[in-house]
Chains A and B, each alone.
Chain A
Amino acid sequence: MIKFLFKGLLHDKSRSLLPVIVVSIGVFLTVVLYCWLNGIMGEGIVMSANFTTGHVKVMTRAYAKDASQMPNDLAILDVTKLSLELKTNYPEMDWVKRIRFGALIDFPDSNGETRAQGPVTGWSVDLYSPASKEKNRLNIEQSIVSGKIPTKPGEALITNDFAVKFKINIGDKFTLLGTTMDGSMALKNFIVSGTVSFGVLALDRGAIIIDISDAQSALSMNDAASEILGFFADGQINHDKASNIVKNFNAKYAISKDEYAPQMLTLKEQEGMAELVGYVDAMGSIMVFIFVLAMSVVLWNAGLIGSLRRYNEFGVRLALGENKSHIYLTLIYEGILIGLVGSFVGTVLGLTASFIMQNVGLNIGGMMQGSTLMMPKVVRAIVTPTAYYIGLIPGLFAMVLGSALAGIGIYKRNTAQLFKELEV
C-alpha cells in the first residue's frame, strides 16, 4: 500500500508538491536556527566556562557574594592545601587555581615618565606547568597575534587591540598598578612577550595574561588565589555530576559560620548562567514547537484545499465500499510520506547552510561595542548530531497533524448522499 500511495503522490504533484515545499522550508528553518542557536549560545556557555565559571568553582563565601568585583582581599588562603584536597576527593575533575584582578598598566617613555596608561582585566593562570591545560582552555596559542606565550616570570601577554591603541611593541616594559590583597597599591614591572586576540570584545578591549606565580608575587597573595575552577576531564559540562560534587563538597563546610570558608558553585549557580543554560535548553524545544504549530496550520489549510479537490475521489472510494477509517488512514500515510520527503529535503538544505555558517560565521562585533558579554565577535553555527534528526519532529508531526485535521471532513460525508453528489 505504501508503494501505491507513494506512486500516487509522485503522479499527482498537485497534492504533494506544495506540502513538500512547506515542510522543507519549515524543516530547513528549524535545522538552521537550531544549529545557529547552538553555536551562539553554546559557544557563549563554553567560553564562559573556560574563562570565568569553570564547570564548578570554589571561592570563599565572602568572595562569592561580590565575585564580579574580584575582591582579592577575600581570596582563598592556603590554596595549595585546598587544591590537594580537591584533587584527592574529586579526581574526575581538573582543578586549577586562578587569580583575576583589575589593574592599570603604565608604559614609560625614555625618561621613565608615563607614555601610555590604560585599564586592564588581569587573568593569571598556570602557564608554566607542562601538564597544565590552561593554555588550551583559554585558547591562548591559537589566539596569539604576535610574539609568544610567557615562558618565564616577568613576562606578560596583552590583548592586540590594546597594544595597537597604545602603540605597544613586543619587548616593551610596563608597570602593573594593582591592589594587593591587603588593599595597598601593587606595582610590578613586566615585559610584553606577545599579543593575543580572543575574538571576544569584552576581553580584547583590555586584558593581560600572566602566570599565576607572577600575580601572587605582584598582589602579595602568597599561597592564595581568587578561585579554584574545576573542569571535567573530558571537557564536557555535565550539570548533574557537577551538582553532586558541589553538594558533597559544601556539606563538609555546612556547619562552619566562617565567612572565609570555601564554597563551591556549579556553572548554573553562578551569576546569570542559570538563565543562559535554561534558555539554550528551552530554545530548541520552543523553536520546534513554534514550527510544528505554524506548519500544522499551513498544512491543515493545504490539506483542506486538497480534500476539497479530492472530494470526488473520496466519494467514489466510499461508494465503492472503502471504509472511512481506511481512507483516513491512507491520508495519514500520505502525510507521513510527504513529511519524510519534506524533512529529508529540508534537513539536507538546512545542514548545508549550517555547515557554511559553521565555517564562515557572522561578524557581530559592530553590534557589541561596550558589551561585557563573553560572546565571540564572529558567531558560528554548530552542527551537532541532533541537527540531523531534529527536523523530523516538526516535519513529520506537522504534516501528520495537518492531514489529520484536514481529513476529519471524511467522517462527515453522508454515504447515503454519495451517488447524488457524484451526479454533480
Chain B
Amino acid sequence: MRKIILLLFATLIMNFGFRQNNSIMEKVDKNMSSKNRIIEATMTINGKRNSRTITCKAWSEGTKKSFTEYLSPASEKGTKMLKLEKQLWIYSPSTDRTIEISGNMVRQSVMGSDMSYEDMMDDRKMTELYTEKMLGKEIVDGRNTIVVQLTAKVEDIAYFSQKMWVDEERFVPLKQELYAKSGQLLKRLEYKDVRNVQGRWFPYIFMYKDVLKDGKGTEFKMTNILFDQTIPTFMFTKAALKQ
C-alpha cells in the first residue's frame, strides 16, 4: 500500500514537472506567434567581403501564411515572396516570373543572409517539434533566463536539437543554438531590444549567424511591428505577387 502511494506521488510530481517544462515552450510559442502581424524591418547582411542592407515589409497570418516584399536597394526592390503552408514562391520583377522554391533550393540563403529558405518555411510550433528538458538557469544580457534543451520528436526537421535561453519573466528567447543530429552547431541566434508591443514581449533585433559560413552574420532590425491587424485575404495569393 505504501509503495502504491509513493508511486502515485512520484507520478504526480513527474507530471507536474513535465507540464511545468512544457509550459515554458507553450508560453514562448504564445508570445512569439499571433493571429497576424505586419512587420517592417531592415536586414543587414555582414558578408565575408562586404555588408549590405535590405529593407522589407512582411505580412503574416499565424504561422502558415506570410507575404514579404523587399523595398530596397534598387536591385532587390519589388522582389516578393509568398509562403503558404509548405510552399514558397519568389517573384522577381526583372524576370516577371513567379517560381516555386523547392528541393535543394530551400537550403539556399535568403538574399545572401545567414537564414535559409528552409528556416523560413518551418512554421510548426516548438511544442509540436521538440521535447524539452530544463538544464538550469543563466543570466543573459542582464536578464534571468531558463536554459532549455530541445530534442526533435519528428523526423522531418532541419535542426535535430536546440538549446534555448528563455527570459524567465517575459518568456522570450534571448539566445538560441541550433544543432545537427551529429551535434555540430549550425546556427546561433541572439535576440535583443525586447519591447512590449500590444501586450506581448517581442525582440526588435535578431542576430542570425550561420556558424558554417564566414562573415559576421545577419542582423534583422524591426522598425515597426503591428499585431492582430486586418490583412486582406488577397495578400496571401499568388496573384498578389505580381501586383
Binding site for B on A (CB under 8 A): 73-74, 104, 106, 108, 112-114, 175, 177, 179-180, 182-185, 187-189, 220, 260
Contact = CB atoms under 8 A, between A and B. Distances in A.
Nearest to A177: B99
Contacts of A74: 48-49
B208 to A, nearest CB: 13
Nearest to A62: B48
Contact-size category for B: 20 to 34
Contacts of B108: 179, 185
B47 A187 contact: no
Given A74-B48, A112-B97, A184-B110, 8 more contacts: A73-B49, A104-B105, A108-B97, A112-B98, A114-B100, A177-B105, A182-B112, A185-B108
Contacts of A112: 96-98
5 nearest A-B pairs in the assembled complex, by CB-CB distance? A183-B112, A184-B112, A187-B92, A184-B111, A182-B112
A368 B113 CA distance: 38
Contacts of B166: none
Nearest to A220: B75
Interface of B: 45, 47-50, 52, 75-76, 90, 92, 94-100, 105, 108-113
A12 to B, nearest CB: 76
Contacts, number: 55
A187 B96 CA distance: 10
A14 B111 CA distance: 83
Given A104-B105, A180-B112, A183-B47, A188 B94 contact: yes
A187 B113 CA distance: 17
B95, B96, B105, most chain A CB atoms within 10 A: B95
A73, A185, A188, most chain B CB atoms within 10 A: A185
6 contacts: A114-B99, A175-B97, A183-B109, A183-B112, A183-B113, A187-B92
A114 B90 CA distance: 12
Nearest to B52: A182
A189 B92 CA distance: 10
B49 A187 contact: no
Nearest to A186: B92
A182 B49 CA distance: 9
A288 B96 CA distance: 63
Contacts of B95: 175, 187-189
